[in-house]
Structure 1
Amino acid sequence: MEYLAKKLTNYIYEKKIITEELIEIYQYGFQCFLELSVSTICSIIIALFLGMLPECLFFFLLFIPMRSYGGGLHMKTYFACFIGSCFILTFSLLAVKYLTISIPISFALYLFAAVLILVIGPVDHPNRKVDAQENRTFIKRTYFTMLISFFLALFFIFTQNTRYMFLQAIVFVFISATSLIGRLIYKQA
């Protein structure tokens, strides 16, 4: 992705669309855009292949804000992150497709993982230090996302939606696991 980002940036620089001072900014922007695009397209392809696009969208509705604000383990390269994300998504969708876990067990699993996330708290990555104000903002947004997820869990219980309650539990188990691993690894760093 970095190679393509450099190529795109050099192209628009040579066309005199940007100045030399903006090269790094545009390169970073192109790289982020390309990485996000490839990940999104691959996720949609996985979901379509499994016939589970609504479940995939729900997965990301919870997963993205929780990982964004709660932090946790981050891979060293985009490729490792991409493979890990595809694995987590595929595993989650296949588990929901082929396993039936009762609502009380899914809800208990969800609650356990949610409490663990709250206990662990936001996990900073050594390469991106967060100041106290940012940390408070991330905590508030994490709590808000968790509140929404709790209401969704109650809705799934009320409607007896076993599939989505289990999917929500899986998302929170992965979030809590990556938070715990990140806390352990980055505490030693």
Structure 2
Amino acid sequence: MISFLSKKITYFIISTSNTSPDSDQIEVYIYGLECFLNTGFTICILFIWGLFTNTIPETICWIVAFSVLRHHVGGLHAHTQLSCILSSCLMGCNWMVIAYIPYQSTIALLICAICIVTFMLYAPLDTPKYKLTHSMAKKEKLYSILIILIEFLICIVLKNKLSVSILYSDICVYILFVIRKLITSPFFNTK
């Protein structure tokens, strides 16, 4: 569905702009629009969920914290756009279960420490489509650690449901990271 929409919109824009991009450019436009629509649908669904559950601030906090850290760390990616939207929404909506757990600084420190050690050792993960240079990987590793530290400081200051939302986003990113790391490890990858 998203691919179909992306192609239709791309070809409509091209036809109304009186330009004639080559096929490689068209593929880039389609892919970019697919990414935009995929993210847009996910955010809209989560926002509607936040409206229904009266958790807009926590939902927005989860989306931002999750997206920023995930961008720099990497991790498991879904094989289809639909499974990406569904899994992202499932993670984002499951935060409601976690929301009933009261904030505890000890747990926040533990989550922060586990993430920092893991990301220092293994982050960021390359994707099949995009390989990082050594200097880029060092920057992404530094960014991911700084993000975790900033989020931890925010959690210590707030000590409320927003803190729990941030911590849950870190756990989600961590789980996707570890799964991808395990799947691509020589132990599981017998090719």
> Normalised by the size of structure 2, how large is the TM-score?
0.84
Q: In structure 2, what is the Cα distance between the partners aligned to 1:34 and 1:171?
A: 22
Q: In structure 1, what is the Cα distance between the partners aligned to 2:103 and 2:33?
A: 44
The equivalent of 2:67 in structure 1 is 64
What are structure 1's unaligned runs of at least 5 residues?
none
Please give the per-residue CA displacement for 1:21-64, whole angstroms capped at 9, x wherever unaligned.
14223222322222222112111111111110100111122111
Q: In structure 1, what is the Cα distance between the partners aligned to 2:85 and 2:171?
A: 19
**After superposition, where does 1:89-108 map in structure 2 within 5 Å?**
89-96=92-99, 99-108=100-109
Contact 1:122 1:138 in 2 (8 A): yes
1:128 aligns with 2:130: yes
Deviates more, 1:125-134 or 1:110-119: 110-119
The equivalent of 1:6 in structure 2 is 7
The equivalent of 1:28 in structure 2 is 31
> Residue type matched to 1:136 in 2?
K
Count of aligned pairs between the two proteins: 183
SS of residue matched to 2:79 = coil
Please give the per-residue CA displacement for 1:50-95, whole angstroms capped at 9, x wherever unaligned.
1101001111221111100000111111111111100000001332
The equivalent of 1:85 in structure 2 is 88
Q: In structure 1, what is the Cα distance between the partners aligned to 2:119 and 2:60?
A: 22
Pick closer, same or farther for the CA change 1:126–1:26 going to 2, 3 Å: closer
> Residue type matched to 2:7 in 1?
K
Pick closer, same or farther for the CA change 1:2–1:102 going to 2, 3 Å: closer
Percent identical pairs in the alignment equals 22
Instruction: Report the Cα offset of residue 110 of structure 1.
Output: 2.2
> Normalised by the size of structure 1, how large is the TM-score?
0.85
Deviates more, 1:139-148 or 1:42-51: 139-148
> Residue type matched to 1:95 in 2?
I
SS of residue matched to 1:20 = coil
CA RMSD of aligned residues (A): 2.1
Q: In structure 2, what is the Cα distance between the partners aligned to 1:112 and 1:85?
A: 24
Contact 2:73 2:144 in 1 (8 A): yes
What are structure 2's unaligned runs of at least 5 residues?
none
The equivalent of 1:148 in structure 2 is 150
Instruction: Report the Cα offset of residue 16 of structure 1.
Output: 4.7
Deviates more, 1:179-188 or 1:82-91: 179-188
Pick closer, same or farther for the CA change 1:15–1:108 going to 2, 3 Å: closer
> Residue type matched to 1:88 in 2?
M
Pick closer, same or farther for the CA change 1:102–1:146 going to 2, 3 Å: closer
Pick closer, same or farther for the CA change 1:62–1:18 going to 2, 3 Å: same
SS of residue matched to 1:125 = coil
